[in-house]
């Protein structure tokens, strides 16, 4: 099974900004950035809400081109599409992540583990 993802050329700034405007989705992106290059199972984000709610947020991130979701058996592995986003909008993702790192208003995901790599 393969999930649909926009190509790099199909990623639009309004969609990316709209998706990143949600605190839960921004917390997911912040956590993915802290684990750069390591595909994370969607269960890593369960402290953000119910499975249904989490599934919704992960789908929105994927559909906007912010994340890539790979289906492996019954698991979904999520990665940040940093290269594609940087190619389309240089510096945007780094700026958003830098602003989100210490934002106390964002929900915590593995709060003791967050260490963003620039």
Question: For residue 29, what are the CA distances in angstroms to 44, 46, 67, 79, 93?
Answer: 12, 14, 8, 9, 9
* Residue 113, domain member (yes or no): no
Q: What share of the chain in percent tops pLDDT 70?
A: 92
Express each pLDDT in 80-89 by its tens digit. 999 999 999 9
Is 108 inside any structural domain? no
In a domain, 15, yes or no: yes
What range does the domain containing 29 cover? 10-101
Residue at 55 is within a domain: yes
CATH of the domain at 37: 1.10.10.10
Quick one: pLDDT at residue 112?
41
Asked whether residue 105 carries a pLDDT value surpassing 90, the answer given is no
- Structural domains counted in the chain: 1
Residue 51, domain member (yes or no): yes
pTM: 0.86
pLDDT, tens digit, for every residue of 22-80? 999 999 999 999 888 899 998 888 888 888 999 999 999 999 999 999 999 888 999 99
């Amino acid at each position: 099974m393969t999930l649909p993802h926009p190509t790099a050329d199909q990623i639009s700034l309004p969609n990316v900004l709209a998706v990143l405007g949600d605190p839960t989705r921004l917390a997911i992106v912040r956590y993915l950035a802290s684990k750069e290059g390591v595909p994370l199972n969607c269960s890593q984000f369960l402290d953000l809400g119910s499975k249904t709610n989490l599934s919704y947020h992960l789908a929105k991130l994927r559909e906007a081109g912010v994340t890539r979701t790979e289906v492996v058996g019954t698991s979904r592995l999520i990665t940040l599409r940093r290269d594609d986003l940087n190619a389309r909008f240089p510096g945007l993702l780094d700026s958003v992540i830098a602003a989100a790192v210490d934002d106390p208003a964002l929900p915590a995901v593995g709060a003791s583990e967050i260490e963003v790599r620039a």
